Amino acid sequence: MRTLVAVTYLFIPLPMPRFQYLIHLEASSYHHCDIGSGVLNNPTETSFKIGLIGKGIQLSRTPFMHETEARRLGLTFKYDLIDTDLMGETPPPISQILNMLEEQGYTGANITFPFKQTAMEFIDEFSDAAIGVGSVNTVLFRDGKRFGHNTDVSGFEQSYRENMMDQLKKSVLLIGAGGAGVSVAHALLKCGVGKLFVADTNHAMADKLVSRLNSQFGGTANVISVEAFPEISNSLDGVVNATPIGMAKLPGSPFPEKLIQQKMWIVDIVYFPLETELLNTARAIGCHTLSGAEMAVFQALHAFELFTGISADAAAMKSSFAVFENR
């Protein structure tokens, strides 16, 4: 059962609890919803309240992008950060946070680290993308039900298609098999990558991702150790970093500089900073590169459209992202 529990020590006082069923199934048989399920279809709705649930999210650009686009469209849009780092030594579980937001009339929420997978237990229906990767980054509250979506997949896919589709992609290395890596891996194979090598210091996680990919796309993915990078570097067309390495708080590069070749394209989904050590090195060598800004913008754009039912402008949201970066 999905039990709605009042949590009075969060930032909003709650009404009396109510109770509803959640049919909790294994990932292979989650309740499916069409991509539009839960999306607002009332064109007269102009006021929205959204939250971003995560840990250590005070520097997120997402609220600024959403609220700026909403103002451009003449909408009333309030976007709150639900940061568990600010909820004391023992923050409430994701189940209670979702309960609180639903009780308080939120339209929906974006969900980020470390809740993308654990949140699925407390959601009723899922899009194909969410089922495919086994995680959600967007949840909609509609008519007493919760609809889970994953716009990380579509966000990376659109950024890749708009910037890298003219590049060779017979053999690609993905570094990172965590939440972001799972979404990126699915998007890469949807974009036509021939052979995908997956590396992660957590070998069990890499094995699990490759098994999932091969069950959905055929035998196109292989696990590789970090130590084996030199063995495949000459055959690689591209390298994608889906780890936190390169972030301001975790500097460095996940791929050795000496192995980067001019013929490669390099993608780094890190966007704080935009200019990571990996991208700096690759650009200096002459590689075609792509930062994490595009994925960040497109995943936000797709989530905005799910929340509002209104088309967002990619150029305007890219401009908002850049303004936030430079302010």
Positions marked catalytic: 116
β-pair type (145-149, 138-142): antiparallel
- Burial level of 125, CB count in 10 A (0-12/13-18/19+)? buried
The residue type at 68: T
Please name which of 50, 83, 44 lies closest in space to residue 69, comparing C-alpha atoms. Answer: 50
Q: Look up residue 101 and give its two tokens.
A: 């937001």
Neighbours of 57 (CB within 10 A): 19
Q: Tell me the C-alpha distance between 30 and 207, whole Å.
A: 22
Contact residues for 75 (Cβ-Cβ < 8 A; gap 6+): 46, 47, 48, 308, 310
Q: Tell me the C-alpha distance between 286 and 276, whole Å.
A: 15
Neighbours of 254 (CB within 10 A): 25
Neighbours of 145 (CB within 10 A): 18
In a 13 Å sphere around the CA of 173, the CA atoms on its Cβ side amount to 27
- Burial level of 158, CB count in 10 A (0-12/13-18/19+)? buried
- The angle that helices 62-72 and 293-308 make with each other, rounded to 10 degrees, is 50
Contact residues for 15 (Cβ-Cβ < 8 A; gap 6+): 6, 103
Residues forming beta bridges with residue 80, ordered by sequence position: 51
Q: Tell me the C-alpha distance between 31 and 307, whole Å.
A: 20
